Chain A
Amino acid sequence: MAERNYEITSLGLQYQKWGWLLVITTVAVVGYILWGIFLARRKAGSVTIRRIAGLDQIDEAVGRATETARPVLMVPGLSGALDGIAVQALTIFASIIRTAARFATPIRLLNYHPAVFAVAQEIAKDVYQTEGVPDRYDVDSVRFVSDRQFAFAAAVAGTIRRDQVAAAFYMGDFFAESLIMAENANMVGAIQVAATTQFTQTPFFIAACDYVLLGDEFYAASAYLGREPVLLGSLVGADWAKLTFMGFAVVALIVHSFQSIRPLTDEQKQYFKDMGTPVLEDQEYPTRNEFFFNWISKIPRG
């Protein structure tokens, strides 16, 4: 047993200085989601969700590809690792591949990360098998391209232009290369549906694509397509969390309004100092940094 060569001066740093409030909020959000899943599983069919426009067009897009005998392109984003975003993208792609498998439409699933490639290959293989057409599955249609951003973009742009894809689906994490892909596909007249978790790229997809899922419609997509209780339930849980945060914004508005018209007392200044966030010496009233909720989310905790 190794001797401890140190002395603990303070335990539970992340719970100190109001940190527990942040932890509790996170736990509460987790609780909402789990509770939503629990309820939805118990009472399947009780949840309805609003229409998500771009998703209704998947069949149409794949259908057009079938007519023209040109391939369908899918890109599950440029996640830096195998993460939930890529998994979600592949879940959506599974239903696209299913349609493509039925109509014997060729597919191109181009991957940025090798681990995503591995999962994508498994999923594609499974889909063709469950549809009963394993011989239509071309191993080379699911590919790893490159894990360098612009080399990937160059290769995808080249594939789009060479194969004259009829439909293109971009789902997941996209960065600056979004427009390179989308404009090239637009040049060959492809129907494009995009959904990205990087909202900074959404405007470029809006400009170049036919349908764009905004924000977390991306996460709602699999629930919308599959109508599974678990997915619907977690969506409801997230909805409740959003409503709670909206309520919080109103409460915090009132709290901060009253805080802003009351001058700082010396005790308060001392308190701020003790908490590791001293205010300026000649400061009379709290600024944005000292407003309660803003402040507790930024206190250094060891």
Chain B
Amino acid sequence: MLAQSVFTSEWWRELLSPDSRWQDGSLLRITIGAILTLGLYSLLYRENKFYRFTEHIFVGLATGFSVVALVKEVLWPQWWVPMLGVPERTATADMPAVPGVDAAWLWGALLPLACLAFFVFSKKHGWLSRIPLGIIVGLWAGQQLNAFQNRFLPQVADQARPIIPGPQTGIPDAINNLIVVITWIVVLSYFVYSFEQKSKFLQRTSLMGRWLLMVGFGAIFGTTMMTRFVLFIDRAYYLLIEWLRLGAQL
């Protein structure tokens, strides 16, 4: 494989060859991605013009793509098509059938409401922007009852385990279960704010709670490190093997 690496003329010939230049996974296209990758990596040394250039490309592309996704996935299918409908079409020899959609033209009334948000730039009518924003945040608020019930109550229920050793639960299990419940209660007690923590006992449990929290955080740190390093190794593979071809491919 090294025979085709960046140090050989074949590599450069392939890079510059006109036939397959823009095919999927061509060397030229990998080169574009690799240069951008290096641009972002240059931040590790210091902030520089190369990074700034890459960063601005990145933000430009990302925002542009958000606009595209908005039109493609929201405005067109959720608003424009339902509003104006689609006439039904039966299949012909070279065109597939299109199912009809009735025109719910009332959707047109939504546009001025949404546009009220743009008054945020106005001094005099700035408060009007609070109407669409208020509707959005109100809709979010209303969902929280359901979210609390479905997300947190099962977790609370899951903390309750048997602590008497029995046919299903051995003695180690019982001890573990007790530790689980105590950990949960002690950590939760750290998050009680309004009770005067004058008693020594409460202060102790609260401190214990902090320490136990650190156990949880340390565990997150440990598991996350692996994943993040593998991400970088994957990028290194992309740069060194897929782009520069310095070693054998998988």
Contacts and interface: CB of A to CB of B under 8 A. Distances in A.
Interface of A: 22-23, 25-26, 29-30, 47-50, 81-84, 87, 115, 118-119, 121-122, 125, 145-148, 150-152, 154-155, 157-158, 161-162, 184, 199-200, 202-204, 206-207, 214-217, 220, 232, 235-236, 239, 242-243, 245-246, 248-250, 252-253, 255-261, 263, 284-288, 291, 293-294, 296-298
A146 B63 contact: yes
Given A158-B51, A261-B167, A291 B162 contact: yes
Contacts of B58: 150-151, 154-155
Given A239-B194, A294-B160, A260 B168 contact: yes
Contacts of B217: 202-203, 206
Contacts of A150: 58
B192 interface: yes
B193 interface: yes
Contacts, number: 187
Contact of B137 (A87, A152, A249): A87
A82 B137 contact: yes
Contacts of A206: 217
B143 to A, nearest CB: 9
Instruction: Please provide the 8 A-B residue pairs with the shortest distance between their CB atoms, ordered closest to farther.
Output: A252-B160, A151-B62, A260-B162, A161-B47, A148-B62, A261-B166, A203-B217, A297-B154
A95 B216 CA distance: 31
Given A155-B55, A158-B55, A284 B167 contact: yes
A246 to B, nearest CB: 5
Interface string B150-178: 00011011111111101111000000000
Nearest to B145: A26
B102 to A, nearest CB: 15
Interface string B118-161: 00100000100110010011001100110011000110111111
B52 A257 contact: no
A184 to B, nearest CB: 8
Nearest to B197: A50
B149 A253 contact: no
B213 interface: yes
A214 B189 CA distance: 13
B188 A245 contact: yes
Contact of A118 (B120, B158, B181): B120
B194 A232 contact: yes
A246 B140 contact: no
A30 B148 CA distance: 10
Given A83-B137, A148-B62, A296-B157, A25 B149 contact: yes
B149 A256 contact: no
Contacts of A287: 168
A291 B160 contact: yes
Given A158-B55, A204-B221, A216-B191, A255 B136 contact: no
Given A118-B133, A199-B216, A202-B217, 17 more contacts: A25-B149, A49-B193, A145-B59, A146-B59, A148-B66, A155-B59, A203-B217, A215-B213, A217-B191, A245-B156, A249-B156, A252-B159, A258-B164, A286-B168, A291-B160, A293-B160, A294-B160
Contact of A291 (B66, B161, B197, B221): B161
B184 A249 contact: yes
B218 interface: yes
B22 interface: no
A81 B132 CA distance: 13
Contact of B145 (A30, A49, A239): A30
Contacts of B213: 214-215
Contacts of B166: 257, 260-261, 285
B241 to A, nearest CB: 23
A118 B160 CA distance: 44
